[in-house]
């Protein structure tokens, strides 16, 4: 039985609409009842529960901000953020699966795709009948996506794609991959379908983080795709970076979910664990830790809420997303580490959540922009002087 009691020290529920709370509570209940009972086994086995994909689709969490005419739920950004928060309360791998599907596959198709591409792919992706992935990161091009070596060249009415992508969530199980390549016309995006000749997506194994997530390499060897597979509205590096802004927004919320899961578990544990004839929670050092963690989590909750409202108002800029992703993931990782310590030896057991969240967040703080890169993004916005080189 999941006894989760979310931290809401400043009664932030008052800031959400009735619909936003309803969406959050529906996803929260599903995570508790359907996902959490099996996550320990999946994390240990290094597998993702693909059998739950139809249920996720039924919940409407795949591309929930996509308009209803394309199969989405037409929700606002705050509701989507709350979805990410509750999914990552379950596991970062679960939020990653959903985030990639919606923010990194459905969003670029909606934003940059042709009407034919939208009609073909968006309803199928929203219904979970098709799975997608986002191919940008390469072995030698992580923080510098402009250094990508994957190429695309015209061949009559087609394109020939060559290159490799690394650390691609969902790649092995995807039906369509959004692949970014350098062409004579600049950086362009292409929809590469599963089974295309010369295209493969071997799974990357031997991970100690994000184990309940499919991580893959994408290999493109003279892969021929028609010009109709090109995203016509995606021109230049700005296009894939705009997709990452969408995904980073969800991460800022998701990290709060992981942090509150750890906080709640450690708080309950400290009240039950007897040390020198009284509960661990009765001592000053644990209480100091809980006060500090609650304060930082509350900061993160307010930051995510404000970010969502600005996004819905159309006033968001990427550096604000960088600040939220940077701060919230860092606090999530710190909270997970402190809670792991509070649980003592039990903190390394998969019978508890904190160690799993701690390991996962070591990946989340790195992917879709490392902590340091987001620091420089915020610094550049504040000073007007880019320090990336």
Residues with a catalytic annotation lie at: 368
CA atoms within 13 Å, Cβ hemisphere of 122: 27
Helices (H) and strands (E) in the chain, counts: 12, 9
Cα dihedral 32, 35, 37, 42, rounded to 10, equals -150
Residues 212 and 87: beta-carbon distance below 8 Å:
no
**CA–CA distance, 96 with 18 (Å, rounded to integer):** 26
Longest dimension (CA), the chain: 80
| 137 vs 26: CA distance, rounded Å | 34
Burial category of 298 from C-beta neighbours within 10 Å (exposed 0-12, middle 13-18, buried 19 and up): middle
| Cα 98 to Cα 63: distance, rounded to the nearest angstrom | 8
3-class DSSP assignment, residue 165: strand
In the chain, alpha helices (H): 18-30, 36-45, 53-59, 77-90, 92-99, 107-112, 115-126, 238-272, 284-312, 318-342, 354-364, 371-383
């Amino acid at each position: 039985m999941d006894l989760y009691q979310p931290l809401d020290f400043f009664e932030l529920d008052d800031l959400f609409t009735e619909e936003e709370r309803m969406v959050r509570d529906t996803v929260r209940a599903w995570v508790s009842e359907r996902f959490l009972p099996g996550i320990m086994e999946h994390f240990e086995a290094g597998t993702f529960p693909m059998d739950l994909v139809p249920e996720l689709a039924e919940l409407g969490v795949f591309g929930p901000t996509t308009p209803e005419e394309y199969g989405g739920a037409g929700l606002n950004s705050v509701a989507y953020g709350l979805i990410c928060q509750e999914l990552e309360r379950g596991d970062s791998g679960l939020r990653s699966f959903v985030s990639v599907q919606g923010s990194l596959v459905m969003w670029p198709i909606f934003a940059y795709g042709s009407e034919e591409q939208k009609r073909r792919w968006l309803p199928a992706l929203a219904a979970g009948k098709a799975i997608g992935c986002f191919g940008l990161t390469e072995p030698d091009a992580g923080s510098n996506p402009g250094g990508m070596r994957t190429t695309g060249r015209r061949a009559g009415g087609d394109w020939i794609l060559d290159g490799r992508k690394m650390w691609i969530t969902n790649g092995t199980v995807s039906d369509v991959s959004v692949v970014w390549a350098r062409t004579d016309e600049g950086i362009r995006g292409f929809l590469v379908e599963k089974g295309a000749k010369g295209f493969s997506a071997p799974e990357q194994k031997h991970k100690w983080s994000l184990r309940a997530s499919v991580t893959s390499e994408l290999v493109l060897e003279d892969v021929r795709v028609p010009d109709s597979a090109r995203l016509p509205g995606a021109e230049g590096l700005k296009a894939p970076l705009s997709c990452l802004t969408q995904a980073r927004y969800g991460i800022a919320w998701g990290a709060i979910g992981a942090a509150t899961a750890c906080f709640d578990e450690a708080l309950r544990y400290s009240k039950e664990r007897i040390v020198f004839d009284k509960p661990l929670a009765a001592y000053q050092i644990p209480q100091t830790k809980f006060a500090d963690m609650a304060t930082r989590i509350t900061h993160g909750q307010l930051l995510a809420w404000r970010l969502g409202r600005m996004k819905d108002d159309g006033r968001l800029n990427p550096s604000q997303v960088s600040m939220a992703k940077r701060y919230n993931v860092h606090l999530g990782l710190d909270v997970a580490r402190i809670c792991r310590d509070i649980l003592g030896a039990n903190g390394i057991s998969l019978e508890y959540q904190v160690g799993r969240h701690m390991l996962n967040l070591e990946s989340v703080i790195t992917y879709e922009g490392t902590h340091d890169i987001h620091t420089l993004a915020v610094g550049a916005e504040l000073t007007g002087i880019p320090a990336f080189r």
